[in-house]
Amino acid sequence: MRLYVPATLDDLDSADVTDVGATWTVPGRLAHAVTAGLQTSFPDEDEEGLEWQAFLAAAHDSLLRVAESPDGVRLRVVVTVEVPDDVVQVPRARTNALSQVCVTDDVPGVEVVALHVDEPDAFLDIADVLDAAADEAPGADAALDDAIQRVTDRDLLWYAPAELRAIPRA
């Protein structure tokens, strides 16, 4: 099953990188994939469009991972991998993200298909999101919405797995 795993650059420090690719231990946690629920909700969408929806949900969750790592690199990362179907569970209860799945346990030695990372100057917008999220003053919600919109308007840059160590860390 193809997964879009929300991550941070720090999460990838343990990856094995060679001149031709990278392997990584996919952590046992939430990820995104083209699920039956996603397909049912978008019956006219082709496979590529469904994958895009799962990818965008992973990019959103990556922002949450960055927020959980205040000392880490402030860039969103989505890691695309293929894992056996039997290590993935679709939540029984409906979630906000129709693409959400759970990797049941760490899966070592998984070949990375692709990496998508914010461009280096996105860290400024991400810092604004984190600052606005911590602000409890009146009107802070509008500032948070604006900051999130600036981040989500940004495209993530594609990197080949072998380029992992060359990705700028802002």
| Rounded CA separation 112/20 (Å) | 11
Q: What are the structure tokens assigned to 55, written together?
A: 């990818």
Structural domain contains residue 106: yes
Is the pTM here over 0.95, yes or no? no
Structural domain contains residue 133: no
Q: What is the pLDDT of residue 70?
A: 82
| Rounded CA separation 152/147 (Å) | 9
Structural domain contains residue 149: no
Structural domain contains residue 103: yes
Q: What is the pLDDT of residue 135?
A: 87
Count structural domains, the chain.
1
CB-CB contact of 156 with 115 (8 Å): no
pLDDT digits (tens, 9 = 90+) for 5-24: 999 999 999 999 999 999 99
Q: What is the pLDDT of residue 62?
A: 97
Residues in the chain with pLDDT values less than 50: none
Structural domain contains residue 33: yes
Q: Which residues are CB-neighbours of 38 under 8 A, at least 6 positions away? A: 50, 53, 54, 98, 99
| Rounded CA separation 137/66 (Å) | 23
Q: What are the structure tokens assigned to 46, written together?
A: 């082709």
Structural domain contains residue 139: no
Residue 6 domain boundaries: 2-123+156-164
Structural domain contains residue 115: yes
Structural domain contains residue 129: no
| Rounded CA separation 47/49 (Å) | 5
13 burial (CB, 10 Å; 0-12 / 13-18 / 19+) is exposed
